[in-house]
Structure 1
């Protein structure tokens, strides 16, 4: 492995680890661009999924109390999401993943622009168990079909005026489980060859270390500041997906 390869892997791990520690989502958006410069697409996706799941363990520990206090809420998102992942993989044979990613990109950009620069954030307070389950399912399908599992849930959760720990107590374990499933499926299909294992030896320690910086920043954000961060992250994800698909 060349010094240039190690540099790009480390930069991707640092970018992805920071945003995972900060927001609990968005790892692929910030890391994948670096990885694709030095790895083939399958290996790059496998590395991102694995690194995101492993760095996400630290974020799970940070919000563990909020997770255990709101397990029924989490399961409303998580169980349908788990069901949606294999369905999304099956749909790959009959849909155009690029078109789906462009459609999701447009939604994210519109949402981020509309809400991200308003003085008052939206506040959708009433309980919506059916909608929560539907959002979780759609996120799972999007993850299986187009590797964008966190996009729709992030949009939905940023509408809720919950404390930041409660928002993250849904988003972090949701992404952890779905990305863990993705990494497992890729491992089953032989994605982790010698090159991938070497890349993991570089990316995982770097990602874990820099994620602590993101967690440090998260702890100092207000509840409103975290919600605004999620909305602006949706905008960044939308632009990132659009650029990836048009290049």
Structure 2
């Protein structure tokens, strides 16, 4: 492994870990581009999933109280997602994944751009169990089909007038659970061979430190600032995803 490869690996791990610690999602969108420059796609995804899950577990600790206070809210997103993931995997044979990613990227850019320019954000504070379940189910399908399980929950949760810890108490465990299932599938597919584990062993410490830095910043944010951060990350994620697919 060359010095430049190690540099790409650590930069990607730092970027992915920091955004995970800060926002509770987004590791793949920020790290995968660096990893794909030095390793095959399957290995890159496998390493990304590992640092996403482990970094996410750190984030779970800071929202543990909010999770326990409202477990039904999380379940409305997570349980339907579990049923959606296999449908997404099955649909890989019937859909153009690249086109799906481009459509999602445009949607993220439009959403993020529109709400970033608004002076006031939506204040949806009433219970919406059916919408929550629908978002979770569709997110599971997108996760199985295109590894984009976090897009819809992030957009929907950023429109809710929830405190930042409550918002993260949905996004963080949702992503950890979905990516944990993805990791099991990758183990079954034989993705974690010797070289993949070497890459992961180098990337993981960097990602963990960067995630802690992201958590420190998150603790200092105000609720309104965190909501705007989620919207901004949606826009940036869409732009990165679009550029990756087009180039």
Q: Please, what TM-score do these two structures have when normalized by structure 2?
A: 0.99
Q: Quick check: 1:117 aligned with 2:90?
A: no
- Consecutive aligned runs of 4 or more in structure 1 exceeding 3 Å deviation: none
Match of 1:83 in 2: 83
Residues 6-65 of structure 1: per-residue CA shift (max 9 Å, x gap): 111111110000000000011011101110110101100111111100100110001000
Residues 54-78 of structure 1: per-residue CA shift (max 9 Å, x gap): 1001100010000011100000000
Match of 2:24 in 1: 24
SS state at 2:124 partner = coil
Match of 2:193 in 1: 193
Q: Quick check: 1:230 aligned with 2:227?
A: no
Match of 2:59 in 1: 59
User: Across the two proteins, how many residue pairs are aligned to each other?
Assistant: 247
Displacement of 1:195: 1.0
2:138 and 2:237 map into 1 onto residues whose CA distance is 17
Superposed, which structure 2 residues align to 1:54-203 within 5 Å? Answer: 54-203=54-203
SS state at 1:52 partner = helix
2:203 and 2:117 map into 1 onto residues whose CA distance is 34
Structure 2 unpaired stretches of 5+: none
Displacement of 1:103: 1.1
- Root mean square deviation of aligned Cα: 0.7
Displacement of 1:184: 1.1
Structure 1 unpaired stretches of 5+: none
Match of 1:39 in 2: 39
